[in-house]
Amino acid sequence: MAATDAKAMGELTLDDQTSQPTPSARRYSNTIQNFEHAKVCKQEGNELYKSQMIKPAIRKYHQCLLYVRACQSKYDTAVHPPPVPVNAEVKEQLERLKADCYNNLAACLLLQPNCDYTRVVTYCDNALRILPGNVKALFRKGLAHYHMGNYSTARGYFNDAKRQRKGRGKDPP
């Protein structure tokens, strides 16, 4: 695959002339930089989703998850500096960001013509592990089960989403 094709597909590539990672592939040694880039990728994904540009939005959410992973990972080689420890507040924000990306990926996949509903369920499970009772994740998981023909399972998730929504009161604007 040519470098330009890989870049168009959103894959991580090296610049042919400098052998340096392209900006989309670069991970930063600074946890705060990775966190900021993760937030930017999520926001860009949200804008692309709103513009009905689903595949590019999916790429942005995946990039966001890579930056989040870079913040949370423990490097196993001596090539990378050890990660900066994150405080509880940043750790909570990272987890929320990760859950939002999984939830948004599920929403994107549901809009695809040949949706992989099993993958939607997996993304919703990932979001629900972090944010149990998340109404959108419960609803999307129910929708995926419905489309897979698991009607009683779907009903259970729809009812869970309904209960969670009633328990929260009004949705925020």
Task: State the pLDDT at residue 10.
Answer: 41
Distance (Å, whole) CA 68 – CA 45: 15
- Cβ-based neighbours of 160, under 8 Å, separated by 6 or more: 133, 138, 142
The 10s digit of each residue's pLDDT in 44-91 is: 999 999 999 999 999 999 999 999 998 877 543 445 555 556 678 888
Average pLDDT (27-34) is 73
Going by C-alpha positions, the residue among 95, 99, 100, 142 that lies closest to residue 120 is 142
* DSSP-derived secondary structure for 81-146: PPPPP--HHHHHHHHHHHHHHHHHHHHHHHTSTT--HHHHHHHHHHHHHHSTT-HHHHHHHHHHHH
Residue 169 has pLDDT above 90, yes or no: no
**Residue with the larger pLDDT of the pair 135 and 4:** 135
Q: How confident is the model at residue 162 (pLDDT cuts 50, 70, 90)?
A: very high
Q: Structural domains in the chain?
A: 1-113 (1.20.58), 115-173 (1.25.40.10)
How much of the chain, in percent, has pLDDT values that exceed 70? Answer: 72
Going by C-alpha positions, the residue among 153, 121, 127, 156 that lies closest to residue 140 is 121
Lowest mean pLDDT among 3-12, 139-148, 150-159: 3-12
The 10s digit of each residue's pLDDT in 92-138 is: 999 999 999 999 999 999 999 999 999 999 999 999 999 999 999 99
**What is the chain's alpha carbon radius of gyration, rounded to the nearest angstrom?**
18
Task: State the pLDDT at residue 31.
Answer: 81
